[in-house]
């Protein structure tokens, strides 16, 4: 008798553990008050389950720790660099690979060369650092995700897709003013939603017809490729690495945060085909990051990423990864907690706007929910709503498209019982949602305000 079992298990066992520190509700209320009601200001030691981000917080594998021992710290031409470059090109065969200390450094370099006043950069949805780097150059950042991507509960298999009709209109209307078109895979700010291969092909075709370079913001490329494998007709028999290579072949370049799918604690890169653009970018790299064969990273980090890239495209890992995120989302959905659907790859997004209808957008319902999850159960999440996106480049404040709270799942880090606990806490807070109150921002930095703003609860 051959059995077949449906439980999808963690495809690893635990080899080294880190203790978690239990706190009381009283301690947490004090901690959050001292942090100005901004969870970024907490001491991580006061957090029980940290779902602030999936960035740099994954567990490295035995083989990554072993690779770290091979780190060669030569200033130039280290063997670690050549292993890193080969691992990147194995999946993303761009001519030039420019290593950076993290994703936003790659963005800063690229937009300082391509951006500038009068230019406009379209993306399905800019991540906050991407938008900030485009705007810091003087250029305008425009989000052109499909309509379904702006609605929390509409089901669509590829909610991260770009609206290609709007893209073409923009390229026609602003000829010569668009230095690059971006696609973010998966679309983080829009709910961790994937982009279909068909859409990537269509965007590539339009860009090349208008002679505009097409770049990928590819932090979660492996999760995106898994969704293509699972959801797109004709893709189910392909190797994940093969899908990734096809995606790369459609683009002219990419920015990358290696802190996500590649399992780095730090790292990133910019890769591209154009020789002149690469030379300009390398010049900025040497000024701001480091020599082109390490670019702001230690040799050991290059090694960890090279190994991590191989693990990121393993189907057993991706099946577990995507299923375990859906496990959290489906449980909350069945309990009636409003979540963005379908469940994304790296995170579950709670719809705070729907759950806390009594709190106006500019009293920050997402912030209220995030603070309540922390004080109630020690869970740290991240507001993705009007706190993050409300301040406009012209200085006015306006509500974001959605008021979300992101529960980002670090890779290979928490077990199913940790997630069962998270489900219990979210359900309890949701049940008492009507008792939550909004917040007023009492200190606001000029840019990327969500990181350091301070708040006061409203009566």
Binding site for ligand F0G (CB under 6 A): 53, 55, 102-104, 127, 129-130, 184, 188, 217, 219, 257, 259, 268, 408
Q: Is 434 exposed, middle or buried (0-12, 13-18, 19+ CB in 10 A)?
A: exposed
> In sequence order, what are the residues at sequence separation of 6 or more whose Cβ sits closer than 8 angstroms to the Cβ of residue 340?
152, 153, 191, 193, 348, 349, 351, 402, 404
- Which SS3 state, helix, strand or coil, does residue 196 take? coil
Greatest alpha-carbon pair distance for the chain in Å reads 69
Residue with tokens 């009594």: 358
Write a three-state SS string for 398-420: CCCCCCEEEEECCCCCCCHHHHH
Tell me how far, at minimum, the Cβ of 115 lies from ligand F0G, in Å.
16
Query: Smallest Cα–Cα separation from 77: which of 65, 66, 67, 85?
Result: 85
Which residue, 167 or 219, is less far from ligand F0G as judged by CB?
A: 219
Report the distance separating Cα 437 and Cα 333, nearest Å.
Answer: 23
Q: 136 is written with which tokens?
A: 């810091």
Which residue, 78 or 130, is less far from ligand F0G as judged by CB?
A: 130
Dihedral (Cα; 295, 59, 368, 189), 10-degree rounding: 50
Tell me how far, at minimum, the Cβ of 116 lies from ligand F0G, in Å.
20
Tell me how far, at minimum, the Cβ of 164 lies from ligand F0G, in Å.
20
Which residue, 64 or 188, is less far from ligand F0G as judged by CB?
A: 188
Give the H or E element holding residue 113. Answer: helix 103-114
Tell me how far, at minimum, the Cβ of 396 lies from ligand F0G, in Å.
26
Which residue, 414 or 430, is less far from ligand F0G as judged by CB?
A: 414
Tell me how far, at minimum, the Cβ of 335 lies from ligand F0G, in Å.
25
Query: Is the CB of residue 186 less than 8 Å from the CB of residue 159?
Result: no
Tell me how far, at minimum, the Cβ of 83 lies from ligand F0G, in Å.
21
Q: 231 is written with which tokens?
A: 């959801």
Residue with tokens 């082109």: 292
Which residue, 51 or 430, is less far from ligand F0G as judged by CB?
A: 51
Which residue, 325 or 430, is less far from ligand F0G as judged by CB?
A: 325
Report the distance separating Cα 73 and Cα 83, nearest Å.
Answer: 13
Burial state string for 203-233 with b = 16 or more CB within 10 A and e = fewer than 16: bbebbeebebbbbbbbbbbbbbbbbbbeebe
Tell me how far, at minimum, the Cβ of 271 lies from ligand F0G, in Å.
14
Which residue, 154 or 265, is less far from ligand F0G as judged by CB?
A: 265
Tell me how far, at minimum, the Cβ of 211 lies from ligand F0G, in Å.
25
Tell me the helices (H) and strands (E) count for the chain, helix number first.
Answer: 16, 14
- CB-closest chain residue to ligand F0G: 103
Beta-strand runs (E) in 248-388: 253-257, 268-272, 347-351, 379-380, 382-384
Tell me how far, at minimum, the Cβ of 260 lies from ligand F0G, in Å.
7
Which residue, 190 or 353, is less far from ligand F0G as judged by CB?
A: 190
Which residue, 102 or 293, is less far from ligand F0G as judged by CB?
A: 102
Which residue, 108 or 391, is less far from ligand F0G as judged by CB?
A: 108
Tell me how far, at minimum, the Cβ of 366 lies from ligand F0G, in Å.
15
Query: Smallest Cα–Cα separation from 277: which of 407, 35, 126, 110?
Result: 110
Which residue, 268 or 308, is less far from ligand F0G as judged by CB?
A: 268
Dihedral (Cα; 235, 410, 401, 200), 10-degree rounding: -20
Tell me how far, at minimum, the Cβ of 325 lies from ligand F0G, in Å.
14
């Amino acid at each position: 008798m051959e059995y077949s079992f449906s439980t999808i298990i963690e495809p690893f066992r635990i080899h080294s553990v880190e203790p978690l520190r239990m706190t009381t509700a009283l301690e947490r209320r004090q901690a959050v008050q001292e942090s100005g009601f901004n969870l970024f200001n907490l001491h991580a030691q006061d957090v029980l389950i940290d779902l602030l981000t999936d960035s740099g917080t994954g567990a490295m594998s035995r083989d990554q720790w072993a690779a770290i021992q091979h780190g060669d710290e030569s200033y130039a031409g280290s063997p670690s660099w050549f292993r890193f470059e080969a691992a990147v090109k194995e999946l993303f065969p761009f001519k030039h690979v420019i290593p950076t200390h993290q994703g936003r450094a790659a963005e800063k370099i690229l937009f300082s060369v391509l951006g500038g006043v009068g230019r406009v950069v379209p993306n399905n949805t800019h991540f906050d650092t991407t938008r900030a780097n485009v705007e810091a150059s003087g250029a305008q950042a425009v989000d052109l995700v499909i309509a379904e991507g702006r609605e929390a509960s509409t089901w669509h298999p590829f909610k991260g897709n770009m609206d290609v009709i709007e893209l073409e209109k923009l390229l026609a209307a602003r000829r010569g003013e668009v230095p690059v078109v971006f696609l973010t895979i998966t679309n983080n700010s829009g709910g961790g939603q994937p982009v279909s291969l068909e859409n990537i092909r269509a965007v590539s075709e339009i860009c090349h017809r208008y002679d505009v370079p097409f770049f990928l913001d590819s932090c979660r490329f492996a999760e995106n490729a898994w969704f293509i494998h699972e959801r797109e007709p004709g893709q189910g028999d392909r190797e994940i690495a093969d899908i990734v290579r096809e995606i790369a072949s459609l683009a002219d370049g990419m920015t990358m945060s290696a802190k996500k799918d590649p399992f780095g604690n730090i790292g990133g890169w910019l890769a591209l085909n154009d020789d002149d653009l690469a030379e300009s970018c390398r010049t900025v790299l040497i000024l701001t990051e480091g020599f082109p064969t390490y670019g702001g990273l230690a040799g050991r980090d290059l090694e960890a990423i090279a190994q991590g890239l191989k693990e990121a495209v393993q189907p057993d890992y991706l099946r577990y990864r995507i299923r375990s995120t859906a496990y959290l989302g489906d449980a909350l959905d069945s309990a009636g907690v409003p979540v963005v659907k379908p469940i994304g790859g790296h995170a579950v997004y709670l719809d705070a706007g729907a759950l806390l209808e009594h709190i106006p957008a500019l009293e920050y319902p997402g912030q209220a929910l995030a603070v309540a999850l922390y004080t109630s159960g020690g869970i740290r999440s991240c507001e993705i709503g009007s706190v993050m996106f409300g301040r406009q480049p012209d200085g006015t404040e306006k509500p974001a498209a959605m008021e979300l709270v992101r529960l980002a799942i670090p890779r290979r880090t928490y077990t199913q019982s940790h997630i069962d606990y998270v489900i219990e806490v979210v359900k309890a807070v949701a049940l008492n949602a009507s008792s939550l109150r909004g917040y007023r921002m009492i200190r606001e930095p000029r840019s990327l305000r969500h990181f350091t703003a301070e708040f006061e609860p409203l009566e």
